[in-house]
Amino acid sequence: MVSAKSNNSFLDKIQKAIREEDLDGWFFCNFRHRDPLSDEILRRPKTLTNSRFWFYFVPAAGEPLAVVHAIEADHLDNLPGKKQCYAGRDELQKYLSCLAGKTIAVHMSESITAVSFLDAGTYCALSGAGIKLVSADCLIQRFKGLLDKEEIASHERSAAVLYGIIETVWDFVRSSYGAGKTLYEGDLRDLMEDEFVRQNMERDHPPQAASGINCTNPHYDFTGKGKVIREGDIIQLDLWAKERLPGSIYADIAWAGVYGKKAESGAEKVFADLAEIREAVLDFLCGSFTERKKSGETLTGAKLDALCRSLLCKKGYGQAIKHRTGHGIDTEVHGSGVNIDSFEFPDTRCILEGSCFSLEPGIYLADYGFRTEINVYIQDGRPRVSGKGAEKQGRQFKLLTV
């Protein structure tokens, strides 16, 4: 059971987010656990029988309303508020109609599919009850996707571990090259996985170790040992993990190198261009954030991504872009906060105090590709780059070599 104190804190946080977005309320519902966000935010265990719809409405102020089916009447009993039980459809519609005329956020979005779980039938039922429905994407960011001081500290600790693992992996690459040993992509992935275990970190999927033409696939994966890494191959590393503790926060970084003493000049130029564009996007974010805050003008994830894309296109890489510039980071590696995206899932949410996200522009050509990824969070009104507390620490400006 959740304590009364915990319940009050939970309700206060939800209602604060609702008021900040100037809405009448936030509406949660679930059937057969189809909406993992509703389960997570309201702390509904996945083992709970969910054979009938339950509904939970949190107003901007005042008492919440729980509407549950008569045969699963106790399912929301540990949440604050008034409870109504229904058995038939007409009875359900009667309870929902009490919300008529209100502007209420639900888990739907035309562009951010990661938060869109409301089915079309329930949308019609709620709309038919006279409720004006809007996306809860901004509420989800405020409730779940903004980091506090302790969470930022957790994120920084995760970042420090990942940067240390990069050093360990590249030392291994150098020693293998120097000894003339056959090196496989799987050797690098296994080493990163071993380091995660050794340093008590967890991840949702194995890290990426790609070489040569495999670097052209941003989500390259393999079974077994993978490809043999050859002289002159580009190597792309991408790793993400968090501490194995409740509530810990991910970090997510990507580095690139060449299996040789020097990369071909074309590859060096492409990576230099990519690093330059990453820094230009970061400079725009840092240089304008204070002024934008003073003027009240907002900076969205879509606008930052559009800038990055325009810079890539100006340098002739328009056809080599395969993905957005970045994603939100929190307890999940692809978190609930603002994504730096005007392209795949356009995100017009604002970059706010506590936002944490990746900046990871990529260029993918016919024979090789690069992605350089850093993490940024907003603390005390300004952007900060994650990684050992130093502004340039952990930022890659040229290709790694052996």
Which pLDDT score is estimated for 3? 46
| Model pLDDT for residues 236-292, shown as the tens digit of each residue | 999 999 999 999 999 999 999 999 999 888 999 999 999 999 999 999 999 877 776
Residue type, 360: E
Which pLDDT score is estimated for 277? 98
Report how far Cα 202 is from the mean position of its chain's Cα atoms: 16
| Model pLDDT for residues 335-346, shown as the tens digit of each residue | 999 999 999 999
Which pLDDT score is estimated for 394? 78
Which alpha helices (DSSP H) does 131-264 contain, by range? 137-144, 149-179, 185-198
Length of the chain, please? Answer: 402
- Contact, 242 vs 251, CB < 8 A? yes
For residues 232 and 89, what is the distance between their CA atoms, to the nearest angstrom? Answer: 67
| Model pLDDT for residues 138-189, shown as the tens digit of each residue | 999 999 999 999 999 999 999 999 999 999 999 999 999 999 999 999 999 9
- From the CB of residue 100, how many other CB atoms can be counted at a distance below 10 Å? 11
Confidence at 1, pLDDT banded by 50, 70, 90: very low
- From the CB of residue 4, how many other CB atoms can be counted at a distance below 10 Å? 9
What's the predicted TM-score (pTM) here? 0.93
Position 218 pLDDT exceeds 70:
yes
How deeply is 85 buried, as exposed, middle or buried, from its count of CB atoms within 10 A (0-12, 13-18, 19+)? middle
Which pLDDT score is estimated for 294? 64
